[in-house]
């Protein structure tokens, strides 16, 4: 499922961090804003995107990606768009529903054996009863 580039708002700004004079003078970082609710994505994909526990999604449902890894603005623009596309692709397919299964007989027995072993160890820690 491809993101429509017309729905993406890109703006250039100065990058942070090390880089010397290039970082201080050139607006090579890219700030990408993508309004999930107003996009042309299918409703189920929008809902799964908004349900993500991602700090880049604001309370208004706008996804904000900042790309400043590369030295050129064009490379950072491609990086931001690729990261947006990867996020949309990650929720494009609905998750497989979980089928409930029962624990196997062997796993139940192992669980009960480990519990009885543990209770035996704890019983040894108790004070001995008064013997008269």
pTM of the model: 0.71
Give pLDDT, residue 81. Answer: 94
Segment 12-36, tens digit of pLDDT:
988 887 777 777 788 888 999 999 8
Neighbour count for residue 123 (Cβ, 10 Å):
8
Give pLDDT, residue 86. Answer: 93
Token pair 């706008």 is found at: 62
DSSP state at residue 20: T
pLDDT at 6 exceeding the cut of 90: no
Segment 67-115, tens digit of pLDDT:
998 988 999 999 999 999 999 999 999 889 999 999 999 999 999 999 9
Can you name the residues that pair with 12 across neighbouring β-strands?
Answer: 30
Domains and CATH numbers, the chain: 5-92 (3.30.160.20)
């Amino acid at each position: 499922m491809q993101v429509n580039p017309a729905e993406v708002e890109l703006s250039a700004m100065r990058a942070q961090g090390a880089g010397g004079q290039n970082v201080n003078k050139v607006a090579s970082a890219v700030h990408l804003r993508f309004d999930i609710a107003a996009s042309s994505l299918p409703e189920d994909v929008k809902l799964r995107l908004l349900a993500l526990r991602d700090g880049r999604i604001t309370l208004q449902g706008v996804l904000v990606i900042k790309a400043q890894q590369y030295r050129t603005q064009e490379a950072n623009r491609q990086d931001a768009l690729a990261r947006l596309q990867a996020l949309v692709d990650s929720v494009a397919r609905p998750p497989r529903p979980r089928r409930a299964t029962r624990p196997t007989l062997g796993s139940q027995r192992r669980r009960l054996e480990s519990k009885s072993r543990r209770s035996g160890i704890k019983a040894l820690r108790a004070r001995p009863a008064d013997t008269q």
